[in-house]
Amino acid sequence: MNPIIMVYRAVLSKIMPFFNRIRIWFSWTYLSNKLNMSIRTQTTKIFKVRAKDKDDYYTIFGWMVAKPLAIAVSIAVVVLCCAYIVAMIPAKSAQKGYKMYKYNSLALKYISSERVGILGKSGYVAYEGDVKDGVIEGSGKLFFKDGTLCYAGEFQKNAYNGKGKRYYRGGELWYDGDFKDNEFDGEGTLYRQDGSKLYSGNFVNSMKDGEGSLFDTAGNEIFHGGFSKDTIVYKQLLGKASDEINEYYKAKSDLYTTENLFMKPMEGINVLCRGRIGDNTLDGKSEVDGVYVLNNFFIDSSGNSVSETEKLKNKFKKLVYQGYTELMEDDALAVTMARFADEEIKDSIKIEKTSILEDAASITGYKAELPVYVHVFHDNGCSYTFYSQESGKGFFMYLIQPISGEAEEKEAE
């Protein structure tokens, strides 16, 4: 054998054990075992100590606590804190390209300005977007638990503020427009769940309020006018000329006339307008002097819905009459169109009509066999008449009329 190789092998056999020992000393397994043994040994020594005198105790809030117990509790607290910190360290999403934080992460509260993801309590992705100074601020998206989009748009101080879009739980667009503190507020458009436009206009506190338009399911505008507390301001139709009404109600509708009256149903908004024909008025104009609202509820000035006649007494300034009354021809026509009127009353009404045009007819006679029970209130220059089948029952429609100047003067007296 070559002498050089023999020498090399001899030297290698001498130094290899030394290098193997060094490699073992610096291996993770060896170091972790030594650390565990050291911790175990020191812990055993601590817990084997028996308190013999007061020097073996700590005084905490007046309580004598054995040093081994105090040390054990301290170690447990440190371990739990370390575990919490490790759990709160954000993980970077490979798909999204930004860090994901738990909703209660301490680190999240100290982000100055960054685009992040936030996990909800059950682990789902609740938010993706901008965070500034520890709060959601800027643009982002909020999600439901099942992952469908809840909101997309601008945020300020953890709330919807600015331009944005709100979605139904199924993912369909619900609202597109301005937000203020999570509420629809400003200009916006409301959609039905089938995707058709419902309303476009002004909102206040998520209610239709101000000028706006209603649309049918085909997307056709049916009404344009003023709203308050999520409902149409029906009083705005009073005093309007017959041709002006078409500027408010855009949908196709019929016209009914008698010798003295014209009546225009607005089925899309549950209204029947009534007015005097020009030849029978002092100024020769045909203007709306009565608005029948064909609903079984009334929205008060606070936006509350009232459907019981007894509760109406607390909503108006003055009750001027309550009792049974006979139906006039305009009342009778309104009752036949009221969805919530009892069939017994509807069946008792017979109206004779003669067609004039395709969408116009003349009422030549009527018969109403049953009386109805009414409550008449006066408030802010208007008379409100609520129609019920009988006393003690809820109403099925109501009529708004202006109070004459003479009547107002008498009430003021």
Whether 79 has a pLDDT exceeding 70, the answer reads: no
**What's the confidence (pLDDT) of residue 48?**
58
pTM: 0.74
**With contact defined as beta carbons under 8 Å apart, do 215 and 198 qualify?**
yes
Find out whether 188 and 176 touch, Cβ atoms under 8 Å: yes
Q: Would you give the distance in Å from CA 119 to the centre of its chain?
A: 22
How confident is the model over 164-184, as pLDDT tens digits? 999 999 999 999 999 999 999
Amino acid type, 402: P
Residue with tokens 């043994």: 37
Query: Which residues, in sequence order, are CB contacts of 321 under 8 Å at separation 6+?
Result: 374, 375, 376
pLDDT tens digits, one per residue of 351-403:
999 998 888 999 999 999 999 999 999 999 999 999 999 888 899 999 999 99
The region of weakest confidence among 7-11, 164-168, 198-202, 247-251 is 7-11
3-state secondary structure of 5: helix
Q: Residue 351: name the closest of 333, 338, 335 by CA.
A: 333
| Helix/strand/coil percent split, the chain, to 5 | 25, 45, 30
C-alpha span between 316 and 333 (Å, rounded): 26
Provide the token pair at 154: 């601008």
User: What DSSP element (H or E) covers 142?
Assistant: strand 135-143
Question: Of 392, 351, 354, 391, nearest to 372 (Cα)?
Answer: 391
In the chain, what's the furthest Cα-to-Cα distance? 138
Domain layout of the chain by residue ranges: 97-223, 235-412
Instruction: Please state the φ and ψ torsions of residue 303, each to the nearest 5 degrees.
Output: 90, 10
Q: Which tokens is 345 given?
A: 């009353």
CATH of 97-223, one of 3.40.50.620, 3.20.20.70, 2.20.110.10, 2.60.40.350: 2.20.110.10
Q: Is the predicted pLDDT of residue 94 greater than 50, yes or no?
A: no
Tokens describing residue 275: 């007015």
